[in-house]
Structure 1
Amino acid sequence: MRTTTPATTTTTPATVTAADATTPAATTRTASRALPLAGAALTALTALAGLLVAGAPSAAAGPTSGACGPGELCLWAQAQFKGARHRYELADVPIESCVALPGSTTAKSLANRLGRPVTLYQSQECAETAEFETYPGDGTWVPQAPYQSRAFKIWER
């Protein structure tokens, strides 16, 4: 800034006020530095979301072959819902009783569409000295059980 007086000329340095910091030029410089960071963050979040969705099992997806209707427990002889399928409903199975699979049948995958938890047993007598695992009801799909299941129990809740 220049001021002229009759005797002398003086130059004073310009001061920047808060109003000057919000000029379009200042905003453009700040935004141009922030945009690459925001874009990188958005790309990383999108990739992470894709991994989470791809890796997460979906209770609604169900098997790729065969079917298990609402209110049923379905057990397949092979992994990935393949092989012979056995279907059970609450009307046909006593609650909290050990139900052995017929003959020498075993199950390697299951869908629990009952509204109750189900425990699968490695033992045909539902012995807890062998392997066993409880699966929640209302849409649990297990493409590969950790062991050959030979019996199950349906629990009250």
Structure 2
Amino acid sequence: MRTTTTTVALLAATAFLLPTSAHAASEPRLGDCAAGELCLWSKAGFKGTRHVYDLAHTDIESCTPLPPGTDAQSLANRMGRPVTTYQSAECAETGEFDTHPGAGTWMPQVPYRVKAFKVWES
């Protein structure tokens, strides 16, 4: 009886250490994209190569293409400013594009491959 009680207690204690769902385990950690950054991942679910941009190294209201031959399938906008992402590497509005608010937007899967972006003043 004592062994059963001990086993049950140990199982209950370890349950708190495990993620509550597969969704929780796939969520990015806040430290994966710091405040003031735009983070773009090459694969859905915040996986793959990550490109990080901040205001100190990004022109406002200018088209910023991702490095040649790369694109992004998930993103986090923590810049504090709206960011428009584009399917076109030239920020052309003939392809898909979306504006993401700067209040901490996390998108595990964008509906198109992001190839460029613009950061807006407000």
Shorter-chain TM range is 0.7 to 0.9
Considering only aligned residues, what root-mean-square deviation do their CA atoms show, in Å?
Answer: 1.4
Q: Secondary structure at the match of 1:133?
A: strand
Instruction: Please tell me whether Structure 1 or Structure 2 has the larger radius of gyration of its CA atoms.
Output: 1
Larger RCO: 1 or 2 (CA < 8 Å, sep 6+): 2
**Which residue identity does 1:125 align to in structure 2?**
E
Counterpart check, 1:118 vs 2:83: yes
Q: Secondary structure at the match of 2:45?
A: helix
Gapped regions of structure 2 (runs ≥ 5): 1-26
State the distance in 2 between where 1:147 and 1:70 align. Answer: 25
What is the deviation of 1:66? 7.1
Q: Secondary structure at the match of 1:80?
A: coil
Gapped regions of structure 1 (runs ≥ 5): 1-61
Counterpart check, 1:104 vs 2:69: yes
Aligned residues: 96
TM-score by length of 1: 0.59
Q: Percent identity?
A: 64
Aligned CA distance change for structure 1 residues 66 and 115 (closer, same or farther; 3 Å) = closer
State the distance in 1 between where 2:66 and 2:111 align. Answer: 17
Which residue number corresponds to residue 53 of structure 1? none
- Per residue, is there more helix in 1 or in 2? 1
State the distance in 1 between where 2:86 and 2:31 align. Answer: 23
What is the deviation of 1:65? 9.2
TM-score by length of 2: 0.76
Which residue number corresponds to residue 103 of structure 2? 138
What is the deviation of 1:150? 0.2
